Amino acid sequence: MPNPSRIFTRRAAAALAVVLIGSTLGACASSGGRETIRFALAKPEAIPYMRDLVQEYNSSQDDVTVVLDTSGIDAVSAGFVRGDPPDIALNNYNQETARFIQRCAMSDLSDTEAAQSVREDLTPFMDQFGVCEGRTSAIPYSIMGAAVIYNKEIFEQNDLEVPTTWDELIEVCETLEAAGITPFYATFADNWTVGQGWYDYTVGGMLDTVTFFDELAAEGPNVGPDSAVSFQKDQAEPVDRMLELSQYVNDDAASRTYGDGNTAMANGEGAMYLQGPWALGEIAKAAPDLDLGMFPLPVTDDPGDLKARINMDLAAWIPVASKHQEAARAFLAYLYQPEVIQAYNESQLGFVPTKNAPPVEDERIIGLQEYIDAGDVYQGSTQLVPRAIPIMNYTQAIILGSDPQRILSNIDADYARLAFRQQ
Domain count, the chain: 2
**Is 169 found in the same domain as 74?**
no
Burial class from Cβ neighbours inside 10 Å (0-12, 13-18, 19+) for residue 102 reads: middle
**Is 196 found in the same domain as 264?**
yes
What is the tens place of the pLDDT at every residue in 234-259?
999 999 999 999 999 999 999 999 99
* 8 A C-beta contact, residue 299 and residue 206: yes
292-295 and 377-379: which strand pairing? unpaired
pTM equals: 0.88
**Is 154 found in the same domain as 108?**
no
Question: What span, in angstroms and rounded, lies between the C-alpha atoms of 378 and 374?
Answer: 12
Helix (H) or strand (E) holding 192: helix 191-193
Q: What is the SS3 assignment for 86?
A: coil
370 lies in some domain: no
What is the tens place of the pLDDT at every residue in 371-420?
999 999 999 999 999 889 999 999 999 999 999 999 999 999 999 999 99
The answer for 401, left when phi > 0, alpha when psi is -120 to 50, beta otherwise, is left
374 lies in some domain: no
The answer for 268, left when phi > 0, alpha when psi is -120 to 50, beta otherwise, is left
**Is 201 found in the same domain as 80?**
no
pLDDT at 7: 39
**Is 266 found in the same domain as 215?**
yes
371 lies in some domain: no
> Mind giving me the DSSP string for 367-384?
GGHHHHHHT-EEE-HHHH
Question: What span, in angstroms and rounded, lies between the C-alpha atoms of 180 and 268?
Answer: 12
373 lies in some domain: no
pLDDT at 73: 77
Number of H helices, E strands in the chain: 21, 8
Cite the beta strand spans of 318-415 per DSSP E.
Answer: 377-379
**Is 199 found in the same domain as 115?**
no
**Is 359 found in the same domain as 210?**
no
Question: What span, in angstroms and rounded, lies between the C-alpha atoms of 18 and 126?
Answer: 31
**Is 88 found in the same domain as 40?**
yes
pLDDT at 13: 41
**Is 304 found in the same domain as 249?**
yes
- Please list the alpha-helical segments (H only) found in 2-122: 10-29, 47-60, 73-82, 95-102, 113-116
Residues of the chain with pLDDT under 50: 1-31
280 lies in some domain: yes
173 lies in some domain: yes
**Is 199 found in the same domain as 258?**
yes
What is the tens place of the pLDDT at every residue in 127-149?
988 899 999 999 999 999 999 99
Residue 406 sits in a domain whose CATH number is 3.40.190.10
89 lies in some domain: yes
**Is 289 found in the same domain as 221?**
yes
* 8 A C-beta contact, residue 99 and residue 73: no
**Is 137 found in the same domain as 116?**
yes
21 lies in some domain: yes
What is the tens place of the pLDDT at every residue in 392-404?
999 999 999 999 9
**CA distance to 94, 115, 140, per residue, from 119 (Å):** 19, 9, 9
* 8 A C-beta contact, residue 336 and residue 354: yes
* 8 A C-beta contact, residue 398 and residue 202: no
Domain span at 174:
145-309+380-422
CA proximity to 224, closest of 420, 422, 378, 399: 420
